[in-house]
Amino acid sequence: GAVVSQHPSRVICKSGTSVKIECRSLDFQATTMFWYRQFPKQSLMLMATSNEGSKATYEQGVEKDKFLINHASLTLSTLTVTSAHPEDSSFYICSATGSGNTIYFGEGSWLTVV
Amino acid sequence: RKEVEQDPGPFNVPEGATVAFNCTYSNSASQSFFWYRQDCRKEPKLLMSVYSSGNEDGRFTAQLNRASQYISLLIRDSKLSDSATYLCVVGRGPNAGNMLTFGGGTRLMVKP
């Protein structure tokens, strides 16, 4: 079974609204979580690194005010896409690492902005 | 230049064929290397880590050449279920938990 749960798996939202995606580690405490975005037929692109209790570190070109990341506990990180636009439609996926340094990916979230 | 480069394919091969994928990376300081498999519209799943000495897992063999900054994956006796996109992944640190950079993936289609 999944050890990293991502929710929702699919979401459709209207342009201009915000949508929150949750990433939970189920069986372990995730000290670090990563958020990726994948456009069709392209590779996963790292958006940000999230450490529990501290501000996320964003990759170059990723707007921190648009993609809000909160890692309030060792088992939960959230990504909020604010003021979503159709070009934000993509596959968003999180990964988490625990003390064993194994990476676990969430199942991904398909976001469609209409 | 992309940090991790792969031939996007697709590689169309018959069942039972042997197929090889290559990958190059630009950051000589990279310390960990992996092959992931990603099925359509799903999350990537770790296929195998790659070590300088080369490693094998059943029908899959991975090789790393640090001098040439080159990683390979060999699949023998291809199965229909091997059809997927194979991602070459490079880590900035020595552990799997460090930030990963994904190649664009190589698509494999195994035909009956």
Residue A64 DSSP SS3:
coil
Q: What is the rounded distance in angstroms from the CA atom of residue A40 to the CA atom of residue A49?
A: 22
Q: What are the C-alpha distances in Å from A61 to residues A47, B16, B30, B82, B100?
A: 9, 44, 22, 35, 17
Asked if B43's CB is within 8 angstroms of A107's CB, the reply is: yes
Question: Does B40 reach chain A within 8 Å, measured CB to CB?
Answer: no
- Residues B19-38: what's their mean pLDDT? 92
- Which residues have CB under 8 Å from A5's CB, separation 6+? A22, A23, A24, A26, A106, A107
Environment class of A43 (CB within 10 Å of its CB; exposed 0-12, middle 13-18, buried 19+): buried
- Residues B68-88: what's their mean pLDDT? 96
pLDDT-based confidence at residue B72 (cuts at 50, 70, 90): very high
Contact list in A for residue B105 (CB cut-off 8 A) is 43
Given the structure tokens 């999944």, which residue do they identify?
A2
Residue A65 DSSP SS3:
coil
The lowest-confidence range among A31-35, B52-56, B90-94 is B90-94
Q: Does residue B41 register a pLDDT over 90? A: no
Contact list in A for residue B41 (CB cut-off 8 A) is 91, 108, 110
Query: What pLDDT tens digit does each residue of chain A (114 aa) get?
Result: 568 999 999 999 999 999 999 999 998 888 889 999 999 878 888 899 988 888 899 999 999 999 999 988 889 999 999 999 999 999 999 998 876 667 789 999 999 999
Nearest CB to A101; choose among B44, B95, B99: B95
